[in-house]
Structure 1
């Protein structure tokens, strides 16, 4: 069985000012996925990782492309900690693989600064500075004054933290390595199939650990109370993956980079920003409370790795 998938830049971008259109387009780099499937990445992936076969990749016009992909039957049952550990190890190998390395530029090579200039500067930070957000009846009980103050202190520290990330070692990243994009086939959780390459990029090492650990917290599928266990298990596994590909980043350096990326790509947006636009919060008040607990975990992690 085969699956046809199409990627397109939304025509809605044509009806907004140029600067905002560029930001919106950059937030969904749709050309990356066809580029990845045109490449020989499947032959370069570390043992234990694979990707669907692309039967055809067709440019439809200047704003869209079509993909004809192999169908992947998979096991969608809840992951165990052991599966997370295996995924973290394989993502570490992906990050440092010298064979994969030449293909890192198929996607973004400025993922941190690009995210700051786009989503953070134009959406997340202005909303975090709005008092209406913190007074919202869903937000106020979960993100109380202490947590709000810690988040805003992190916002104040952002220029320094981003400069620190500029010095972090780089690797190759899938870019959206949540469990839903890492498929186990035939009940074999030791071998995973990567899908959804739209955010493939060069990024600081440990980039993929953020979505691996946070993806199911964001959707309410997993409680934030499991983050400490996942952190303790996944970070060393990822580190071992780097080592096995010849990349010897010190574990403390990796943990600090991981903490910075968790703050930037999840911690600051853990608050359900959409409530200010009259949209429902993600799931329920219980999900919002879990996101607050996850934000606290991220801030604690950042504090525990604080650089001198």
Structure 2
């Protein structure tokens, strides 16, 4: 049976539980729930900065994101950005400015990765989207987390990326709310760090959040294969809006 990790709102412990035993509470992902998740992720990440935890990784800081950025992003993101015919598609033709911004950021990928390695590192969840943070009926103030991935140290703030974009990827949250949501989950996450004694990291975490989510989800936000299917016109527009949100936040930190 698949395994999951449970952590309660007061965060006194974590333990493995059988995923088949988890009964989810009927809870909508509203701003309050996003903030609670961000706070607890901050606490979890703070506790995962210890040398003993980091030493359990066989990989250096930023390894998993670096592999994704160097191997997947060129094919899934940078290649399509270079395709003039693709960007002449009626659904994309009016977004030349977005294309230009993405290409500018694409040239900065090595510098972005190096910059992320300079920040405080933690062992993250790795895929902390709402779909992987289950609210259990017998403990609705906490979460059961599943599908842990990207198992190498990453900069504090990395886990906020999937929390932000997960429901938009799934088509359940409009991209128009993402900027406001990002501005709510960042301070909640910082509060979680501070609860565990990590202070004075606001600027670093904000930058790491913006750069890492761009690398993970910004370059390949648009599923190019949808361009051939009329049923996906609205979906593509949402993904364009998602890309604009992430690009705008990343550009604020790239000189």
Q: Same fold (TM over 0.5)?
A: yes
Residue 165 of structure 2: SS of its match in structure 1? helix
Q: Where do 5+ consecutive residues of structure 1 fail to align?
A: 6-32, 55-68
Residue in 1 aligned with 2:93?
140
Relative to structure 1, the CA distance from residue 78 to residue 108 in structure 2 (aligned partners, 3 Å threshold; closer, same or farther) is: farther
Contact 2:7–2:144 under 8 Å retained in 1: no
Relative to structure 1, the CA distance from residue 88 to residue 134 in structure 2 (aligned partners, 3 Å threshold; closer, same or farther) is: same
Relative to structure 1, the CA distance from residue 239 to residue 43 in structure 2 (aligned partners, 3 Å threshold; closer, same or farther) is: closer
Cα offset, 1:157, TM superposition: 2.1
Residue 142 of structure 2: SS of its match in structure 1? strand
Higher CA-based Rg: 1
Mapping of residues 232-271 of structure 1, within 5 Å: 232-271=183-222
Contact 1:175–1:208 under 8 Å retained in 2: yes
Q: Alignment RMSD, CA only?
A: 3.0
Residue in 2 aligned with 1:111?
64
CA distance in 2, matches of 1:140, 1:127: 14
Mapping of residues 82-97 of structure 1, within 5 Å: 82-97=32-47
Cα offset, 1:292, TM superposition: 1.2
Residue in 2 aligned with 1:302?
250
Is 1:127 matched with 2:77? no
Residue range with higher mean Cα deviation, 291-300 or 124-133: 124-133
Relative to structure 1, the CA distance from residue 195 to residue 179 in structure 2 (aligned partners, 3 Å threshold; closer, same or farther) is: same
CA distance in 1, matches of 2:96, 2:49: 48
Q: How many residues align?
A: 252
Residue in 2 aligned with 1:212?
163
CA distance in 2, matches of 1:235, 1:162: 20
Q: Where do 5+ consecutive residues of structure 2 fail to align?
A: none
Equivalent residue for 1:53, pick from 17, 28, 40: 17
Relative to structure 1, the CA distance from residue 157 to residue 306 in structure 2 (aligned partners, 3 Å threshold; closer, same or farther) is: closer
| Structure with the higher strand share, 1 or 2 | 1
Relative to structure 1, the CA distance from residue 117 to residue 303 in structure 2 (aligned partners, 3 Å threshold; closer, same or farther) is: closer
Residue 286 of structure 1: SS of its match in structure 2? helix
Relative contact order (C-alpha < 8 Å, sep 6+): which is higher? 2
Deviations 1:98-129 (A, max 9, x none): 59864453585412222123212344322322
Deviations 1:63-106 (A, max 9, x none): xxxxxx54211035421101000000111111110598644535
- If the length of structure 2 is used for normalisation, what is the TM-score? 0.85
Cα offset, 1:188, TM superposition: 5.0
